[in-house]
């Protein structure tokens, strides 16, 4: 019904965007959790360097990130060639590649939200749980997780919403192939380039607006719920 109303190219771009953004979160979630935990709880020697590296995609031109990915993971790149010959995995110019480029771009948002959440957690609460008889797994499930989960979820929603709109890194690393890497922003760009694409461009802008609004309000709602629960 939705695809009939939107028309096949827009619907395709919408579903592809959602799929790419979702897959990007699957890529980045475990890594982001680890990095956030390292930054929040550990006093590593290379902490400042790691922090800077994590935030790099935020300040670098997205095209530069895409280009670096291409150099590294392209079929002739050092890592890309190895992946291709060993596992037969190709990332450049694929949907998985689009998801990876999106993951790299939204990584800082994710790490930031998780890190704030972890840093806001008082380690004294876990100690209190310990004296009350909670084992390590029990403490994690009954104290740590419920307290950091809302923050992590808010981070995921923000990263997802931002991932829907990733353009530069995706087009550079995964090109602009319909059904493979032509997500909403790429479809919008393509529509703008064609002489009679104005109506479609408008439609794409509207869809993007609705998605963005939904994402941001969901994140805000989650954050508000967290604050209320913790009484802040």
* Residue of 3, 135, 193, 217 interacting with another protein (CB under 8 A): 135
Question: Which two structure tokens, joined as six digits, stand for 138?
Answer: 């029990």
* Residue of 26, 132, 199, 213 interacting with another protein (CB under 8 A): 132
What single string gives the DSSP state of each residue in 179-217?
A: TTT--HHHHHHHHHHSTT-HHHHHHHHHHHHHHHHHHHH
Cα 185 to Cα 113: distance, rounded to the nearest angstrom: 25
Handedness of CA 175, 181, 185, 187 (dihedral sign): positive
Task: Report yes or no: 185 and 193 within 8 Å, Cβ to Cβ.
Answer: no
Q: Report the helix count and the strand count for the chain, using DSSP H and E.
A: 12, 0
Q: How far is the CB of 226 from another protein (least distance, A)?
A: 9
Look-up: residue for tokens 């954050």?
Answer: 223
**Three-class SS state of 166:** coil
Q: How far is the CB of 30 from another protein (least distance, A)?
A: 24
Q: How far is the CB of 142 from another protein (least distance, A)?
A: 7
Cα 14 to Cα 204: distance, rounded to the nearest angstrom: 9
Q: Which is nearer to another protein, 40 or 205 (CB)?
A: 40
Question: Which two structure tokens, joined as six digits, stand for 24?
Answer: 């990007």
Q: How far is the CB of 150 from another protein (least distance, A)?
A: 9
Listed residue (58, 47, 139, 171) closest to 104, CA to CA: 58
Q: How far is the CB of 138 from another protein (least distance, A)?
A: 8
88 near another protein, judged by CB under 8 A: no
> What is the per-residue binding string for another protein in 145-184, x denoting contact by CB under 8 A?
-xx-------------------------------------
Q: Which is nearer to another protein, 105 or 129 (CB)?
A: 129
134 near another protein, judged by CB under 8 A: yes
Q: How many residues does the chain have?
A: 232
Question: Which two structure tokens, joined as six digits, stand for 25?
Answer: 């979160």
Q: How far is the CB of 129 from another protein (least distance, A)?
A: 7
Q: Which is nearer to another protein, 103 or 226 (CB)?
A: 226
The interface with another protein within residues 203-232 (CB under 8 A) comprises 229-232
141 near another protein, judged by CB under 8 A: no
> What is the per-residue binding string for another protein in 99-128, x denoting contact by CB under 8 A?
-----------------------x-xx-xx
Where does this chain bind another protein (CB under 8 A)? 122, 124-125, 127-135, 138, 142-143, 146-147, 229-232
């Amino acid at each position: 019904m939705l695809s009939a109303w939107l028309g096949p190219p827009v619907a395709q771009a919408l579903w592809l965007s959602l799929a790419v953004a979702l897959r990007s979160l699957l890529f980045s979630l475990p890594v982001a959790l680890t990095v956030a935990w390292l930054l929040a709880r550990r006093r590593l020697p290379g902490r400042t360097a790691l922090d800077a590296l994590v935030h790099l995609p935020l300040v670098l031109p997205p095209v530069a990130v895409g280009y670096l990915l291409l150099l590294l993971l392209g079929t002739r790149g050092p890592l890309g060639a190895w992946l291709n010959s060993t596992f037969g995995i190709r990332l450049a110019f694929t949907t998985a590649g689009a998801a990876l480029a999106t993951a790299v771009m939204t990584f800082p948002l994710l790490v930031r939200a998780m890190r704030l959440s972890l840093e806001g957690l008082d380690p004294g609460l876990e100690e209190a749980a310990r004296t009350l008889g909670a084992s390590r797994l029990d403490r994690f499930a009954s104290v740590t997780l419920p307290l950091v989960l809302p923050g992590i979820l808010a981070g995921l929603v923000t990263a997802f919403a931002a991932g829907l709109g990733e353009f530069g890194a995706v087009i550079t690393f995964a090109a602009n192939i319909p059904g493979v890497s032509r997500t909403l922003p790429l479809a919008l760009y393509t529509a703008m380039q064609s002489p009679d694409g104005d109506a479609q461009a408008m439609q794409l802008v509207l869809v993007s607006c609705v998605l963005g609004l939904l994402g941001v309000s969901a994140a805000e709602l989650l954050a508000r719920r967290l604050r209320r629960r913790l009484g802040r």
